[in-house]
Every structure is written in structure tokens, then in C-alpha cells.
Amino acid sequence: MSTHLSTALKLRVGDLVEVKAPREILATLDERGTYQALPFMPEMLAYCGKRFRVYKRVEKVCDTINKTGMRRMEDAVLLTDVRCDGQAHGGCDARCMLIWKEAWLKRVGSSSGREQVLVMIDRMSTGSTLNTTAVEDTVRDLVCTNAQQPASADGAVRYVCQSTELKKATLPLKVWDLRQYWRDVRGGNVGWRQAVEGLLIMLFNRVQSLRGGAGYPVCEQGRLKTTPKGNLDLKSGELVKVKTKDEIVQTLDVGNRNRGLFFDVEMLKHCGRDYRVKGRVYRLVNEKTGELVNLSNDCIILENVMCQGECHQFCSRSEYIYWREVWLARSGS
């Protein structure tokens, strides 16, 4: 089913695109519902035929499973405010940004010869509505079937999504490959000044790691053996203030975690700022095993608070940052 035609659009941040119709997307998918090993997920079907701005090019992603560093991805983008709702994955609350291969998109205002032929076929064929519906059903069956693995011996349900398959869909990226910063600038992910700052941060932190010194930005190590829990019972839409760095450090263990959740240096810039609660995270697909995990501890996401990878080589994923309630306070309290 999958084709090997050149599909690179060389999209940049801000470009207006349209998600292709199911018929065109089907032509790119293999028997596993993937293109270049990246799944086209059931949650993506609702966006077919709709238009969006490119939010970011996906040039590289963090290996969050095996912690091997950055991995390179080609010909893929994120679209503004287009996230997975988790409906085909057990109601996963991660709200991950969906990754779109350029093969699944077309520039608005341009139409390739292949796309024109498909339009002509639709117009000339009798019962084209039925044909279109049949194609949509075929795509839906294909991607839904592959979104869940066959039950294992232990009977556990295991899901397949873009996050679980990222390693297969990417290649290793050496930390010293400086072309990655040029690609970030060329695609519009960052400006030259930001790219240089990111490069300098990476170099400094590498040297500090070798000599056993503190990295940048500096975040003191926690000291607790048992970490405290907050009891705010936050709801979506509530206004909260992220506590100061010093206050948060006092809630961390020696691994800078609170009940297992890591406080990353990317979170430091949000300390002392006000945000609205986006929602609570109750369940997540484990990226390593594919199992749906029910979280036993509070986990909060805040509106527009995403990891931009400024201290991590500009990872493109732009995922929501997770917060413990003990790191937050209601504004005005």
C-alpha cells in the first residue's frame, strides 16, 4: 500500500497546509498503518480536509524511553493546537502533539498533478460518495486495528501510538552534529540568536557533566527521603501560581523528584508565574510498554506551558509539562 514517491514539502513554521483526504493518506500507509514507521493514528482522521498553520518542524525528538539522547526525524511537522485526544488509546490524558508527515499534507493554494487526477476521478465516478465513505472506513479500520496490540499472555492491553514508535521512526543524532542547529533555524523553529544560545548551553553542560560541575540553568538538588503531597484538588480553568525555585526544591528528593515526577530545568523559567490549569492527567500510555497506566498521584498540566527544549537541544515534541500540586498555589493565596 505504501508509496515511495518524494513527498517533502520543505514546510516552514507559519505555512498554511491542509490535511489530505483519507484516500490520499491510505496510499502512503503500509499494512501496519504507518509511513516511514510513524503511525497515522485514529485520532488524526478527524482533521482530514481541514487547514492549519505549521507550528513547528519536527527535526529531532528526545529518546524518552531509553534515554540515549536526541533522534533525527525527517519531513515531519506539528500543526498549531492539533493534539491527540486519546480516544482510540484508552482515554490517555497525555494530549501529545500529533506528528504529521509531509506526505499527509498539502500546501494550501497548490495542487499536484496526482491530487488533480484524484479529484477528477471522484467527479467522474458514479456513486463517488459511497466510494469516499468506503475509503474512509478502510483507513479507519486499518489504523484502529493497529492502534492496539494483540492481547499478551498476561492479558494486559497494549497500545501503539506515535510516542511508542518514535524510536522506530527516527535515527540516532550525534550531539556534536551541529547541522541540527542550522535545520532549526532554516525551518523557523528558532532564530539565530536562540540557536547560538542553545548550542552554548549544550556545550557548557557537556563540559560540566565531564568535570562533575553544575549545569545551566542551576537547580539545587533536593534532600528529602519522603516527598510531600499537595491537596489543592485543582480544576480546569483555575488560576494558579508556580511556586519559587527554592520552595519547589524543598519538596524534592536527591534525584530532584517528587513522588517519582522529575522537576526538570526547563520548568525553572515558569517559577513565580501565573497560569490557568488546563486539566488533570489521570492515565497515560506507557511509551516503553504500551500499557495504559492509571496514575496514583496528582498530575497537572497548565495552559500553554510546554517543553520547548531550550536546554535540551530544542527537542521538537512540545509536550505539556507535568506539575505536582505541591509545586503550585492558587493565585492570591
pLDDT digits (tens, 9 = 90+) for 124-161: 444 444 467 888 899 999 999 999 987 666 778 899 99
Checking phi first, is residue 212 left (phi over 0); if not, alpha (psi -120 to 50) or beta? left
- What is the arithmetic mean of pLDDT over 161-189? 96
Please report the pLDDT score of residue 110 as a whole number: 56
Q: For residue 313, is pLDDT > 60?
A: yes
Report which of 165, 176, 211 is spatially closest to residue 70, judged by C-alpha positions.
176
Please report the pLDDT score of residue 166 as a whole number: 96
How confident is residue 101, by pLDDT bands cut at 50, 70 and 90?
Answer: very high
Q: Are residues 119 and 231 in the same domain?
A: no
Q: Are residues 105 and 222 in the same domain?
A: no
pLDDT tens profile 79-94: 999 999 999 999 999 9
Q: What angle do CA 4, 5, 11 make, to 5 degrees?
A: 115
Separation CA 313–CA 184 (nearest Å): 10
Report which of 33, 147, 174 is spatially closest to residue 89, judged by C-alpha positions.
147
Please report the pLDDT score of residue 32 as a whole number: 95
Which of 51-55, 74-78, 124-128 is the least confident region? 124-128
Count helices and strands (H / E) in the chain: 6, 18
Q: DSSP 3-state assignment of 109? A: coil
Q: DSSP 3-state assignment of 139? A: helix
Q: For residue 6, is pLDDT > 90?
A: no
Q: Are residues 135 and 240 in the same domain?
A: no
Q: In this structure, is residue 117 part of a structural domain?
A: yes
Query: Residue 82: what residue type?
Result: V
Q: For residue 183, is pLDDT > 50?
A: yes
Separation CA 169–CA 317 (nearest Å): 14
Q: How many domains does the chain have?
A: 2
Cβ atoms of 262 and 268 within 8 Å: the answer is no
Cβ atoms of 263 and 255 within 8 Å: the answer is no
What percent of the chain lies above the pLDDT cut of 70? 90
What percent of the chain lies above the pLDDT cut of 90? 82
Q: Are residues 136 and 20 in the same domain?
A: yes
Q: Are residues 131 and 36 in the same domain?
A: yes
Q: Which three cell numbers stand for residue 99?
A: 506528528
pTM, rounded to two decimals = 0.90
| Residue 73 φ then ψ, to 5° | -125, 145
Q: In this structure, is residue 295 part of a structural domain?
A: yes
Please report the pLDDT score of residue 170 as a whole number: 97
Q: In this structure, is residue 230 part of a structural domain?
A: yes
Within 8 A by CB and 6+ apart from 74, the residues are 8, 36
Which of 1-5, 200-204, 273-277, 320-324 is the least confident region? 1-5
How confident is residue 8, by pLDDT bands cut at 50, 70 and 90?
Answer: confident
Of the three residues 146, 176, 199, the one that is the final residue of a domain is: 146
Q: Are residues 241 and 140 in the same domain?
A: no
Q: Are residues 141 and 245 in the same domain?
A: no
- What is the arithmetic mean of pLDDT over 306-314? 94
Q: What is the mean pLDDT of the chain?
A: 91
Q: In this structure, is residue 51 part of a structural domain?
A: yes
Q: Which three cell numbers stand for residue 120?
A: 477528477
Domain span including residue 110: 16-146
Please report the pLDDT score of residue 133 as a whole number: 80
Q: Are residues 224 and 306 in the same domain?
A: yes
Separation CA 247–CA 36 (nearest Å): 45
Q: In this structure, is residue 112 part of a structural domain?
A: yes
Pick 242 or 3 by higher pLDDT: 242
Q: Are residues 141 and 257 in the same domain?
A: no
Report which of 191, 162, 179, 195 is spatially closest to residue 72, judged by C-alpha positions.
179
Q: For residue 58, is pLDDT > 70?
A: yes
Q: In this structure, is residue 72 part of a structural domain?
A: yes
Q: In this structure, is residue 115 part of a structural domain?
A: yes
Please report the pLDDT score of residue 120 as a whole number: 42
Of the three residues 127, 146, 165, the one that is the final residue of a domain is: 146
Number of Cβ atoms within 10 Å of the Cβ of 139: 22
Please report the pLDDT score of residue 128 as a whole number: 46
Please report the pLDDT score of residue 135 as a whole number: 84
Q: Are residues 229 and 313 in the same domain?
A: yes
Please report the pLDDT score of residue 149 as a whole number: 84
Separation CA 249–CA 333 (nearest Å): 20
Cβ atoms of 50 and 172 within 8 Å: the answer is no
Q: Are residues 141 and 238 in the same domain?
A: no
Grid-cell match 519559587, residue found:
244
Q: DSSP 3-state assignment of 294? A: strand
Of the three residues 94, 126, 146, the one that is the final residue of a domain is: 146
Q: In this structure, is residue 207 part of a structural domain?
A: no
- What is the arithmetic mean of pLDDT over 162-188? 96
Q: Where are the alpha helices (DSSP H) in 113-258?
A: 113-124, 128-146, 179-187, 192-211, 245-249
Q: DSSP 3-state assignment of 114? A: helix
Omega before residue 39 within 30° of 0, cis: no
Cβ atoms of 59 and 150 within 8 Å: the answer is no
Please report the pLDDT score of residue 122 as a whole number: 46
- What is the arithmetic mean of pLDDT over 198-208? 93
pLDDT tens profile 249-277: 999 999 999 999 999 999 999 999 999 99
Q: Are residues 115 and 232 in the same domain?
A: no
Within 8 A by CB and 6+ apart from 207, the residues are 213
Separation CA 151–CA 142 (nearest Å): 18
Pick 86 or 4 by higher pLDDT: 86
Q: Residue 240's domain is classified under what CATH number?
A: 2.30.30
